[in-house]
Amino acid sequence: MSALPAKVSFENGGDFIRDIRREVDLYLDGRRTRLRGNIQLYVKSVVAFGVLAASWASLIFLHPGIALGLLALAGLSLGAILVGFCIQHDANHGAYFRTRRANHLMGWSADALLGISSYAWRVKHNVAHHTYTNVDGYDDDINQTPFARLMPSQQPRRWYRLQHLYIWPLYCVMVIRWQIGADAAAIIRGRIANSALHPPKRWDLTGLVGGKLLFVGWAIVVPLFVYPWWVVVLGYVGFTAMTSLITATTFQLAHCVEEADFTSAEELKANPRVWAVHEVETTVDFCPRNPVLTWLLGGLNYQIEHHLFPRVAHVHYPRIAEIVRRNAAQHGVRYTVQPSLWRALRSHHRHVRALGRVGMPVEIEMG
Ligand SMILES: [Zn+2]
The secondary structure of residue 87, as a DSSP letter, is I
pLDDT-derived band of residue 358, with 50, 70 and 90 as boundaries?
low
The secondary structure of residue 284, as a DSSP letter, is E
CA-to-CA distance for 345 and 353, rounded, in angstroms?
A: 12
Position 4 pLDDT exceeds 80: no
Task: Provide the sign of the torsion angle of the four alpha carbons 132, 135, 140, 141, taken in this order.
Answer: positive
Please give the distance, rounded to the nearest whole angstrom, from the Cα atom of residue 159 to the centre of ligand 1.
31
Closest CA to 17 of 333, 360, 353, 337: 333
**Greater model confidence, 191 or 114:** 114
Position 7 pLDDT exceeds 80: no
307 Cβ contact list (under 8 Å, min separation 6): 130, 133, 279, 280, 283
Other C-beta atoms closer than 10 Å to the C-beta of 332 total 8
Closest CA to 260 of 133, 349, 129, 82: 133
* pLDDT one-digit tens code per residue, 211-243: 999 999 999 999 999 999 999 999 999 999 999
Residue 366: the pLDDT is 41
Beta bridge partners, 274, equal 11
Please give the distance, rounded to the nearest whole angstrom, from the Cα atom of residue 90 to the centre of ligand 1.
7
99-117: average pLDDT: 93
Please give the distance, rounded to the nearest whole angstrom, from the Cα atom of residue 47 to the centre of ligand 1.
21
Please give the distance, rounded to the nearest whole angstrom, from the Cα atom of residue 182 to the centre of ligand 1.
19
Query: φ and ψ at 144, to 5 degrees?
Result: -120, 20
100-104: average pLDDT: 91
The dihedral formed by the CA atoms of 31, 93, 335 and 366, expressed in degrees to the nearest 10: 180
| Sequence ranges of the domains in the chain | 15-355
Please give the distance, rounded to the nearest whole angstrom, from the Cα atom of residue 126 to the centre of ligand 1.
6
CA-to-CA distance for 347 and 257, rounded, in angstroms?
A: 5
CA-to-CA distance for 286 and 170, rounded, in angstroms?
A: 22
Asked if residues 294 and 288 have their Cβ atoms less than 8 Å apart, the reply is yes
* pLDDT one-digit tens code per residue, 266-279: 888 888 889 999 99
Please give the distance, rounded to the nearest whole angstrom, from the Cα atom of residue 306 to the centre of ligand 1.
7
Please give the distance, rounded to the nearest whole angstrom, from the Cα atom of residue 15 to the centre of ligand 1.
24
Please give the distance, rounded to the nearest whole angstrom, from the Cα atom of residue 242 to the centre of ligand 1.
20
Instruction: Pick the range with the lowest mean pLDDT from 38-42, 89-93, 342-346.
Output: 38-42
pTM over 0.75: yes
Please give the distance, rounded to the nearest whole angstrom, from the Cα atom of residue 53 to the centre of ligand 1.
25
Please give the distance, rounded to the nearest whole angstrom, from the Cα atom of residue 229 to the centre of ligand 1.
36
Please give the distance, rounded to the nearest whole angstrom, from the Cα atom of residue 288 to the centre of ligand 1.
17
Q: Is 66 helix (H, G, I), strand (E, B) or coil?
A: helix
* pLDDT one-digit tens code per residue, 163-194: 999 999 999 999 898 888 888 888 888 888 88
pLDDT-derived band of residue 31, with 50, 70 and 90 as boundaries?
low
Please give the distance, rounded to the nearest whole angstrom, from the Cα atom of residue 101 to the centre of ligand 1.
18
CA-to-CA distance for 332 and 19, rounded, in angstroms?
A: 13
| Of the ranges 40-44, 127-131, 333-337, the best mean pLDDT one | 333-337
Q: Is 3 helix (H, G, I), strand (E, B) or coil?
A: coil
Please give the distance, rounded to the nearest whole angstrom, from the Cα atom of residue 228 to the centre of ligand 1.
38
